[in-house]
Structures are given as structure tokens and as C-alpha cells.
Amino acid sequence: MGKATPPVKKNQMIELSFEDITHEGAGVGKINGYPLFVPYGLPGEKAQVKVIKVKKNFGFGKLIEVTDRSTDRVDPPCDVFYKCGGCQLQHMSYAMQLEMKQNQVKSALKKIGHIEEIPVHPTIGMDDPWRYRNKVQMPVGTKNGKLVTGFYRKRSHDIIEDMDHCIITDEVNDRMVDAVREIASRLGISAYDEKNHRGLLRHIMVRSGKETNETMIVLITRKEDIPQLHKLVDELTETYPHIKSIVQNINPEKTNVILGKKTKVLWGAEYIYDEIGGIRFAISAKSFYQVNPVQTKKLYDQALKYASITGSETVIDAYCGIGTISLFLAQKAKKVYGVEVVPEAVSDAKENAKLNHMDNAEFFVGQAEKVMNWWNAQGLRPDVIVVDPPRKGCDEELLQAMIDMKPKRIVYVSCNPSTLARDLRILEDGGFETKEVQPVDMFPQTTHIESVAELVLKL
Ligand code: SAH
């Protein structure tokens, strides 16, 4: 028996009702059971849709006109929302965004992890879900002989030239991008031209400390020697006293990767500082630092709560970055061991421990899975293990080491519900029980989902 042919044809206009939404934020509607994915369609809506791609088991459509509008549809406040690849959810009320994220965590746990009976709490959102990002990296281009900055159009490397601000970026950072672009343009510094691998200024990166108001500017250039740079630095530092550091990063490669290997301080300090929950962090140009400090505090408070620390515990923080979670835990725990693969991040973590006069946190460079196995072999028996892996989740070897070490509790911080669900299944089969999961909205207006899970050892 052959499969039924798809009930729609390419370029056909259809009326579609949306029942669901994908993790990429596309509306899902069905024609005789055949699903069509339509960007910007919202559940509960009816719309005129043009079919643009027909595959065997599913198709894609373009939203032409919403005929029955959801009360959760809002006008995107950003002028370039439909062109830009940065945000995906500005057409949706914030309440719906939070609900969608909670549902997607639930659904991943159920479908991938076969975990159903546990509470997945309502997503912890922001009071004001705009201007939250403490860091911006803007590509630089040229138009009519002048420098322009803007994010890339969706699925392309064309700069959106009429973009003069980004409303999820901190206002100070937005203004600094403008200032650097204007001065650099006046001084005749050329923009990098990706196609021909010529020109100098590739990206402008700006990072500011929310609590300290200190700003770092990173100029990412193709070549090191640029005579006008010192003039650019002079003008910037004379005009803006909140700038504490200007760094040049040299990236001579033909690559999509923004930062190159070499960094050089052009002016001021190598670090800026920021504070989360009373702990001070030194942040250098290349280190990973959470982009939404307001929500980071809420996420770490939740992790700390799930860790249930009383003062006598030994804790491991795997994938520790610059030691942010480790130091949060070290305030309460007897001893914290952090492990992280990027050597610069580990030296930042050690500096951060000193900066906060914490002598009960120790940091190690290496792959978490290898170091964890080594700790296990050494007989280290932590009371609590916290993991915060990248999107691909934990390495199996690390999950196995945790199962062997039998900590009383595991706290799993995740930026990807699918790999979280996969790993929780392995931990459950290895003797742990997932108690509850708390999504925290670290990235409003985008489809990214962060959550934290509490696990306990089954007796
Ligand atoms: N917990 C930190 C960082 C989380 S991001 C914070 O909240 O700020 C994930 C981190 O895992 C990154 O710093 C990345 O460099 C690190 N990482 C990726 N693969 C790793 C591995 N195999 N072993 C150890 N660390 C790894």
C-alpha cells in the first residue's frame, strides 16, 4: 500500500486553523491530518496561507492574512522584526511566550524522557521583557561610502542597514555601537567585506555590567595594525566616562566565527566587573557570561534551592564557565569543585573566587566527563552535583560517573529541553528521581528555553 499523496500543492492558497506551535515558533495546522508549518501563525488562529513547500509527510506555508486573530497576537514593537533573525516571538503576547515555553519543556520530558507525573512549573518571566541583554555583537558593513551596523537578515549574511537600535539590547550598548560606528566612519576605518575578505572592522561588541555600569568595547578587526585606532579610542574615552576597557580582537580568518584568537587591550582594564546576587565577577572579552543578569539571579536562586545546601556539603559544579554558579553555591556549601573545558574561563573563575574572598571553591580545567571519572576513581563523593552543559547536553560518560558517585541530589540546568529530557531518562534509569522542573525565561522574545531540574537519589 502506497502512502497517501499530500492533500495540498505548491503555491496553492488554503485556509488553515492553527492548533499548535513548534519550538521554533511556527504555527502548526492540519489538512486531513497532513501538518503544515507556518511561521508567525498562532494557536487558535485561522489564516489564509500560501503553500510554499510540500514534502511527503509535512509541508511549509507562508502567512498571507490572519482572518481570525488570537487575542495573544500583538504588533511587534521592533521595526525590523520580520526581517531580522534575532527574535522570533515579538508577535506573541509575553504571557503566551511564557506558557509556550512551559508547555515545550513538559512535552519534551514526556515525549523524549517519558517523564510525565512531575510538576513543570509556570515559566519565571521578566517584569519588563525588553532591553535585557548586557552584550551585543553587531556586524559592520558599508553603504554609500559610510559604515553601517545591523544584524543579519534571517538565514543570510546581509546586514539590515536601517537598523539603528535593538530593543532587547541594553540602551547603553546600543548607543555605544552607534558611537563607535560614527567615529570609525569619520576616521575612514573600512568595514570588513566578507565576500572579498578585505577591509578592517568586522564586528563591534559591547558589554556592560548591569550593576556597575562599566562598559567594555571590543573591536574585532581583520588586521592588527590600524593607525586610526588610537584616535578612535581617544574620542570614545574622552566622551564616555563609563567605558572602562577597550579591547581589540584580531580575526584574520575567512570564517563565521566572530572572535579570533588574539586579543589586545587598547585602553583601560582587561576586565569589567558585574555583580549578581552580591557576588562580583570579572568579565574579560572572551569569557562566557550570562547575557540576562536579572533572570540569571532567578535561575541561580532556583538552582541553589534545589541543591538544598545546609553548610556541610561537598558540591561539584560541572561546565562551570567563569564560576558563576560555583560561587553562588560556595556561599553556603562547605566545598565546591568546578570543572570547565576553556582554560581562560577557569582562570577567570579562580580570580573571581579571590575577588569574593572565597577559599572553599577550587577550579579545574578539562572535559567534565574525564575529570568527573577521575574524581570518582579518587573516591570523591559529593553530596550534590550541579551540571549546566551546552545545548548538546551531558556526555554519557559524565552521566555514568554521576550515577556511580551517587550524590544525594543532582541539579540540572539546561538550555535545551530535548537533551535535558534525554539525560533525565538516563539518570532516572540509573537510580535518580526527577522531582520537579522550573523553566526560567532568560531570553524573552526568542524561542530559547532555559530550565532547571531537581533530582534526588532513590533509596
Ligand atoms: N555555568 C556557567 C556556564 C554555562 S555554559 C554559567 O552559568 O555561566 C556551558 C559551559 O560548558 C561553557 O563555559 C563551555 O565552555 C563549557 N563546556 C562545554 N563542553 C564542555 C566539556 N566537555 N567539559 C567541560 N566544560 C565544557
Distance CA 120, CA 115 (A): 11
Amino acid at residue number 344: E
Q: Is 288 in the pocket of ligand 1 (CB under 6 A)?
A: yes
The residue whose CA is least distant from atom 22 of ligand 1 is: 367
Report DSSP state, residue 191. Answer: B
Q: Indicate if ligand 1 lies below 6 Å from the C-beta of 367.
A: yes
Could you read off the pLDDT tens digit of each residue along the chain, which spans 459 residues? 446 789 999 999 999 999 999 999 999 999 999 999 999 999 999 999 999 999 999 999 999 999 999 999 999 999 999 999 899 999 999 999 999 999 999 999 999 999 999 999 999 999 999 999 999 999 999 999 999 999 998 888 889 987 878 999 999 999 999 999 999 999 999 999 999 999 999 999 999 999 999 999 999 999 999 999 999 999 999 999 999 999 999 999 999 999 999 999 999 999 999 999 999 999 999 888 999 999 999 999 999 999 999 999 999 999 999 999 999 999 999 999 999 999 989 999 999 999 999 999 999 999 999 999 999 999 999 999 999 999 999 999 999 999 999 999 999 999 999 999 999 999 999 999 999 999 999 999 999 999 999 999 998
Assign 304 to helix, strand or coil.
helix
**How far, in Å, CA of 143 to CA of 190, rounded?**
11
In CATH terms, the superfamily for domain 13-68 is Nucleic acid-binding proteins (2.40.50.140)
Q: What is the DSSP letter of 383?
A: S
Distance 290 CA to ligand 1 centre (A): 12
State whether the beta carbon of 328 lies less than 6 angstroms from ligand 1.
no
CB-based burial, 191-202: b 16+ in 10 Å, e otherwise: bbebeeeebbbb
Give the C-alpha separation, 385 to 112, whole Å: 23
Going through 345-418 in order, the beta strands assigned E by DSSP cover 361-365, 384-387, 409-414
Domain(s) of CATH 2.40.50.140: residues in the chain? 13-68
Residue 3 has a pLDDT of 60
Beta carbon of 324 within 6 Å of any ligand 1 atom: yes
- Per-residue pLDDT, 2: 46
Q: What is the pTM (predicted TM-score) of this model? A: 0.93
Rounded to whole angstroms, the maximal C-alpha distance in the chain is: 76
Q: Would the CB of 368 count as within 6 Å of ligand 1?
A: yes
Atom of ligand 1 nearest to the CA of 390: 9
| Assigned superfamily of 98-127+292-457 | Vaccinia Virus protein VP39 (3.40.50.150)
Nearest-CA residue for atom 3 of ligand 1? 321
Is residue 364 in contact with ligand 1, taking CB distance under 6 Å?
A: no
**Residue 230 Cα distances to 9, 60, 202, angstroms:** 60, 51, 17
Annotation: CATH topology of 135-276: OB fold (Dihydrolipoamide Acetyltransferase, E2P) (2.40.50)
SS3 377: helix
Residues of each domain in the chain carrying CATH 3.40.50.150: 98-127+292-457
Q: Whose CA is nearest to atom 12 of ligand 1?
A: 321
CA distances (Å), origin 176, targets 132, 221, 439: 16, 17, 32
- The best mutation among 135, 295, 319 to test binding of ligand 1, ranked by most ligand atoms within 8 Å of the C-beta, falls on 319
Ligand 1, residues 341, 392, 414, 419: which to mutate, most atoms within 8 A of Cβ?
341
**Cα 337 to ligand 1 centre (Å):** 14
Do the bridges between strand 450-457 and strand 279-284 make them parallel or antiparallel, or are there none, so unpaired? unpaired
Q: Residue 394 catalytic?
A: no
Pocket flag, ligand 1, residue 325 (CB < 6 Å) = yes
Alpha carbon 133 to chain centroid, angstroms: 10
Q: Determine if ligand 1 sits within 6 Å of the CB of residue 321.
A: yes
Domain with CATH 2.40.50.1070 in the chain: 135-276
Residue type, 75: D
